[in-house]
Amino acid sequence: MSLTIGSPAPQFSLTNQHGENISLADYKGKKNVVVLFYPFAFSGICTGELCGLRDDLAAFQNENVELIAISCDPMYAQKAFAEKEGYKFPVLADFWPHGAAAKAYGVFNEERGCAIRGTFIIDKEGILRWQVVNGLGDARNIVDYKAALASI
């Protein structure tokens, strides 16, 4: 399933690493949102990507934009991962129903039971403005996210 740029983004409501419910709708009318799906907490490429975002967080989490990372790991794994790596952005658990948000965004790998590397930029009105989907082993380039955000 491929999402169409200019269409409303699929809604989700998931638990973050602190056990709090976070919904895409929470940001409507307030902030643009970078939704980043990743395969597994504590895996090498995922850790590298999220640490890159952590180290440049002001570009992705400020008065105009919110960064949300999502994997199919359970909330307790997300909590341990976020604490170990010092993530100060929401790390959401798409654990149950397993992969429902990843499926809605067309990035769930049924064979492996995880999300693949999909990144989606959603504007303040809930409209999908940019997306990139990479394979499980293909890291993303955060410079591309910055360019996409600058165009909104």
- pLDDT tens profile 55-66: 999 989 999 999
Helices (H), the chain: 44-55, 75-85, 100-104, 142-150
* 32 bridge partner residues: 65
pLDDT tens for 112-134 read: 999 999 999 999 999 999 999 98
Yes or no: say if 67 and 98 are a contact pair by the CB < 8 Å rule: no
Yes or no: say if 152 and 129 are a contact pair by the CB < 8 Å rule: yes
pTM above threshold 0.85: yes
Helix (H, G, I), strand (E, B) or coil at 79: helix
Residue 4, Cβ density class (10 Å: 0-12 exposed, 13-18 middle, ≥19 buried): exposed
Class of CATH domain 13-150: alpha beta
Task: Please confirm whether the linkage preceding 74 is cis (ω < 30° from 0).
Answer: no
Is 72 tagged catalytic? no
* 122 bridge partner residues: 33, 128
- CA 92 – CA 84 distance, rounded (Å): 15
Say which amino acid occupies 20.
Answer: E
Yes or no: say if 88 and 57 are a contact pair by the CB < 8 Å rule: yes
pLDDT for 44 equals 81
pLDDT for 140 equals 80
Q: Which residue is associated with the tokens 């948000």?
A: 101
pLDDT for 136 equals 81
pLDDT for 113 equals 96
Helix (H, G, I), strand (E, B) or coil at 150: helix
Encoded tokens for 34:
């970078």
pLDDT mean values, one per 10 residues, the chain (152 residues) = 90 98 98 96 88 91 95 97 96 97 97 96 97 85 84 86
Choice among 46, 51, 72, 114 that is catalytic: 46
- CA 123 – CA 126 distance, rounded (Å): 5
Yes or no: say if 69 and 149 are a contact pair by the CB < 8 Å rule: no
pLDDT for 1 equals 54
